[in-house]
Amino acid sequence: MIRVLVLPGSTRTDAFSKRLARAAAKLVEQAGAQATFADLRDHAMPLYDGDLEAAEGVPEAALRLRKAMQSHDALLVVSPEYNASIPAVLKNAIDWLSRPYAAEPGVSPFKNKVAALLSSSPGALGGLRGLVHLRQILQNLGMLVISEQFALGNAGGAFAPDGSLADGKQAAGVAAVVQRLVQVAGRLAG
C-alpha cells in the first residue's frame, strides 16, 4: 500500500493547515493509501546553524522526520503563507533535512520522491503565493512535485464540524490532488 506523509507547515494547535492536513489525510485513505500525520511541533528543531551542525550533527528531531520521509512513498505538504512565502518553521525543517547525514552518506530523503502541495489561509488567495516558493525548494531538492495543487482560501469558514471541507467543490479540489499523488506514487513504486 502507498504510504503518504502529511506534513502541515504550522505548529499552531488550531492551525488551518493542520485542519486541512487532517481532512486531506482522510481523502488519502479514501484513495486507497495510508496517511501519516507529522506535526512539526513534535519535531522541534533549533534554527539551522553551521557551528551547531559541526559540533552536534543533525538534530534528533530532524533525523526522526528524515526516517519518516524515507519510510513513506510520498509527501503531502500543507502550508500556510507567511509574507508571500513559506513559514520559517517549515523552511528550517527542510534545511535540516537537506543536510548530509553521516550515517547515510549520499542519501537524500527528498531525491526521487513524489510530493504534492496544499495551502490554506484566512485570506482570499489561500496561500497560493507561498506554494510557488515551496514547489521551487522541493524540486531543487530532487522531488517530483506534481502539477496539481490546491489553495484553500477563507479557511476560517471552510470546515464542517466533523473536520471535513464543507464546500463540495473545495473537497473535490483537494481530493483531485490527493488522488493524483497516490496514483503517481503507485506508478513510481512500480
Q: Is 165 in the site for ligand FMN (CB under 6 A)?
A: no
Give the CA dihedral 128, 133, 139, 140, nearest 10 degrees: 180
Q: Is 88 in the site for ligand FMN (CB under 6 A)?
A: no
- Of 59, 80, 109, 173, the one binding ligand FMN (CB under 6 A) is 80
Q: Is 119 in the site for ligand FMN (CB under 6 A)?
A: no
Cβ–Cβ under 8 Å, residues 8 and 79:
yes
Rounded distance between C-alpha atoms, residue 161 and residue 141, angstroms: 38
Q: Is 122 in the site for ligand FMN (CB under 6 A)?
A: yes
- Binding window for ligand FMN (CB under 6 A); candidates: 9-17, 95-103, 144-152, 167-175: 9-17
- Binding window for ligand FMN (CB under 6 A); candidates: 38-46, 119-127, 163-171, 179-187: 119-127
Q: Is 83 in the site for ligand FMN (CB under 6 A)?
A: yes
Cβ–Cβ under 8 Å, residues 8 and 40:
yes
- Binding window for ligand FMN (CB under 6 A); candidates: 27-35, 102-110, 120-128, 165-173: 120-128
Rounded distance between C-alpha atoms, residue 15 and residue 179, angstroms: 24
Enumerate the H helices of 57-127 as residue ranges. Answer: 60-70, 88-97
Residues with Cβ within 8 Å of 119's Cβ and at least 6 positions away in sequence, in order, are 17, 78, 79, 80, 81, 126, 127, 128, 130, 131, 149, 150, 151, 152
Q: Is 12 in the site for ligand FMN (CB under 6 A)?
A: yes
Q: Is 173 in the site for ligand FMN (CB under 6 A)?
A: no
Q: Provide, rounded to whole angstroms, the least separation between the CB of residue 51 and ligand FMN.
A: 27
Q: Which residue reads 506534481 in cell numbers?
A: 146
The residue ranges that bind ligand FMN (CB under 6 A) are 10, 12, 15-17, 80-84, 120-123, 127
